Structure 1
Amino acid sequence: MNRVVRFHETGGPEVLRLEEVPVPSPGPGEVLICTRALGLNRAESMFRLGQYGYDPVFPSGLGYEASGEVEAVGAGVTGLAVGDAVSVVPSFKMTDYTVHGEHVLAPARAVVANPEGLSFEEAASVWMMFITAYGGLIDLAHLGAGDTVLLPAASSSVGLAAIQIAHMVGARAVALTRTSAKRQQLLDAGADAVIATTEEDVVARVRELTGSNGARVVFDPIGGPALADLIRAAAQEGIIVLYGVLDTEPAPLDVLEVLFKHQTIRGFEMMEITLDDTRRRQAVDFVRDGLAKGDLTPVIDKTFPLDAIVDAHRYLEAGRQVGKVVVTVPR
């Protein structure tokens, strides 16, 4: 039996099904993985809803992140052997490969040995969040010592990863969250300051924290009307990196603010890192180094068994988590 997560129409978590399909055979350049844990991300939720950058082809699987053991390798695959503990770096479209299931195929270029000392659950959670944060903060914005970075949706797995990466390079991380409910958890996670955006004046608070200079980097997965305050809170020659659209309402743009402060607004998606062999290797090496030194630590909020995949998606979309949602695959 090989159960995989599939859906036959776009919609809420209830459209997901666990369906039995044959165990696939790896073709040239592919790896068959017997999974032990699956990482859940907003990307899968948006893909299931039909709100992602490309549309599903039905019946559709989904999933970017998984960890487990190599069960077979296709022709031309080197450096990976049957029995190896591995995880998948998101480096493909979900219309080409999907890895939420018990036995899944992945392109060999996207499969890496699990970082030493991590459980399968932790290994399934690290690559999307840490490479996304690395790509926006380090590869694009060149975040460094003395910088201040604003992190909307800071309690997400990427937000927490960004706090850790900021500290790793000597920057100050200011976490943004809608209310004060998660303030202490974010401080405990390492945020240097927390701004509750529905309770405080974001621009005034950032000016207070930065001596009126503003934040050099903004790393925003939300967009929408709140983008106006982020632009005003950004520094002269600041960079605003947009990596998501959690708020689909139109985003106002203060052109004079951007123009006279010489700001950069840059769209970013993780695939521009992971589809480039050189940049992917650099990102993986950066994350491995941070994990080995203890500077980076995956934060898992809650795990669900594969049979509860619908509940896992519902929990993710409720937005109550602080960290990663992981699905376990029993053996």
Structure 2
Amino acid sequence: MMHDQELNTAVSQRPSVLLVDGMAVLFRAYYATAYGGSIRRMSDGTPTNAIFGFIRYFWDAVERFKPSHIICCWDLSSKTFRSQQFSEYKANRAECPEDLVPQFQLIRDVMDSFGIPNVSCEGYEADDCIGTLARIYRDQNEVMILTGDHDMLQLVHEHTKVIIMKKGHGNYAVYSPDYLMEERQLTPEQVIDVKGLMGDTSDNYPGVRGIGEKTAYKLVQQYGTIEGILDNLHELTKGVRTKIEADMDMLHLSRQLARIECEVPLECELDACVFAPDAEEVRSIFERLEMKSMIAFTGVSST
């Protein structure tokens, strides 16, 4: 569902920077088509289904939100500072599908052809790169983050909208501080505390064992922060208090793992991110990928 009021607030006289969560969009694009069992391939057998889907998602967002600047952020490897802090972090993730592996570099090539910087940093996740760039750019620009990852809601700010991709094409929820409060009764900072309490099965950290989403939300909404909860343990039911006391170390570690790092050592000059694709570059990459329909779909070659 598109929230027009939220979208309108993203439009201003300031430049608008779209930060694309490349990993989230690419995996979404892959699985949206892979389940059918018919993988789109080039004549040499190279799979391109995720690239095709990525471009459709990406271009819809470009047309909808009309950014003046775009950056795409990527993970580099599974070894990050979080896996050093907690060896089980994301250890439950299945191996990357074989058909997706060759598409990682190819989609970066596509972004290159659009003149969009591909940003990543050793030891950090794409989320951390996005958080850092959002912090850097928001003082002078309107920042928009395109993702399917609700963890990113902690990055919502007066000048940072988090655009959550929902099921289907062109279906988004656009989060500002006001909409986050309206929908979840949380501030961006409280998103982190909720994750610290309930953990994250996808990222494989437990939080406080026995405390689920409903209780985590209730506690944070009532006491404001984890510190507020700990200061008022005597008010909690015996069952909840016992669970928190038994898992205190993991509670603090889980909150640490949930927090997106916004001080990643990376630089990306805004001037290098102006979205002004070269028609010939775009045509060339789509011809190479045997996606001539995308030349017309994006309309870049006719601008």
Q: TM-score of the superposition, structure 2-length normalised?
A: 0.31
Task: Tell me which protein shows more strand as a share of its residues.
Answer: 1
Task: Tell me which protein shows more helix as a share of its residues.
Answer: 2
